[in-house]
Chains A and B, each alone.
Chain A
């Protein structure tokens, strides 16, 4: 038995299989990115690679050029959803990304197909993508144009969407389950809703005297500098409030707040731990949806 040959054949078969639903996405000058035919007529790609909303095309695995429209963007996850009137090739087989563990062998596939090979090196929020979702950090090269392409397991099943959008040297994948939630929202609402509280915040240092009282020793939080009238925040937050945590998740800068407010939480009640007049109080708020004009 030739184990190396078996593995080699398996990897090549996985790339070949996944490649049937991998597209080139033409959404920026010069360098095409990659897209995945995720559900019939719906294509997932990396949001940062779409520099325009109009005149977008994709190239199917068989070389056809098809016009597509943007149906939703989730900049927090770096996911964008495109629609094609003609189904561009086969629909990808998408797996349950919760089964992925650190050390699992994975491949990144770009349009062509092109491929690279490595392992999942960590799972969890990174400093570049706080709390937005657990992400896969990859010990694998994402070559130019690989963003938006599938991360596949050794069977060719899609487990994530690759992106180097956060940094050229930080190779990440958004888990397939998170991308599925974005698509579900698009199918249900026709767009990607953005969660909304209606506050503007700024990072501050937590005064030393209260760090131990209710801030659990943390030295950074955000201060409310504006509350939009009629917004969800207006029901309980005031300018000058210091938000320490949201549903127990520490908020150390405005990006944390944005990352914690995922679209799927719209309509849910959240509890904000707020430092107000020297005391920590819990404020209950209902997450709203960002109105169109505020987008």
Chain B
């Protein structure tokens, strides 16, 4: 697999989420017609979801956790392939990661970098995947993937130029606690 193939695969599982009449961010197709995104991307109970095939469907926010900055959106009729997620094995510092999203309104843009560190920014803080990778507003909620194309995190914010993603383990926990039947 080269970067182009990997990007094409990620493109298929990444959606655009517009909320409150504004193009806001990205999302990952986590299960059939179910999207994971950041809580700060969804601004109301209903959102518009657009996949790589440019079709737009309406989605309903079925769970959100502002503290974890995660939300789950049900988008019936989206009918897109679902993401393959990495396991909980450690992500080595220096390994390649790739992000897909809509930075500054550029739809489906790919950026590449490496794992900078994994863990909290300050002692006792929340664990992040810290990536040496370019993110911009519009990447929020989109996938961060490893060199195999497996999703390792959900991009959430930029601090001092460092990309921060929520580890997939935490996303899995959130989806389970939401109690939504995942087929």
User: Which A residues are closer than 8 A to B by beta carbons?
Assistant: 2-5, 7-9, 11-16, 19, 107, 112-117, 141, 143-144
Contact = CB atoms under 8 A, between A and B. Distances in A.
B106 interface: no
A11 B95 CA distance: 6
A14 B93 CA distance: 10
B162 A143 contact: yes
Contacts of A114: 93, 116-117, 130
Interface in B106-165: 113-117, 130, 132, 146-148, 160-162
List 7 tightest A-B contacts by C-beta distance, closest first.
A15-B94, A8-B147, A12-B92, A8-B96, A116-B132, A12-B94, A12-B95
A116 B161 CA distance: 12
Contacts of A107: 94, 114
Contact of A115 (B93, B146, B161): B93
Given A4-B3, A115-B132, A116-B132, A11 B96 contact: yes
A112 B93 contact: yes
Contact of B115 (A3, A9, A115): A115
A20 B122 CA distance: 22
A52 B96 CA distance: 38
A16 B1 contact: no
Given A115-B115, A141-B132, A143-B116, A2 B93 contact: no
A169 to B, nearest CB: 11
13 contacts: A3-B1, A4-B147, A7-B96, A7-B147, A8-B95, A8-B96, A8-B147, A11-B95, A11-B96, A15-B92, A114-B93, A116-B116, A143-B116
Contacts of B113: 117
Contacts of B130: 114
Contacts of A143: 116, 132, 160-162
Given A3-B2, A116-B132, A144-B160, A15 B93 contact: yes
Contact of A141 (B3, B146, B148, B161): B161
B130 to A, nearest CB: 8
B26 to A, nearest CB: 22
Contacts of B92: 12, 15-16
B86 interface: no
Contact of A117 (B6, B114, B146, B148): B114
A2 B95 CA distance: 14
Contacts of A113: 93-94, 117
A52 to B, nearest CB: 24
A107 to B, nearest CB: 6
A11 B91 CA distance: 12
Contacts of B94: 11-16, 107, 113, 115, 117
Contacts of A144: 160
Contacts of A7: 96, 147
Given A2-B148, A3-B2, A12-B95, 17 more contacts: A5-B147, A7-B96, A11-B114, A12-B93, A12-B94, A13-B94, A16-B93, A114-B93, A114-B117, A115-B116, A115-B132, A116-B116, A117-B94, A117-B114, A141-B132, A141-B161, A143-B160
B153 to A, nearest CB: 15
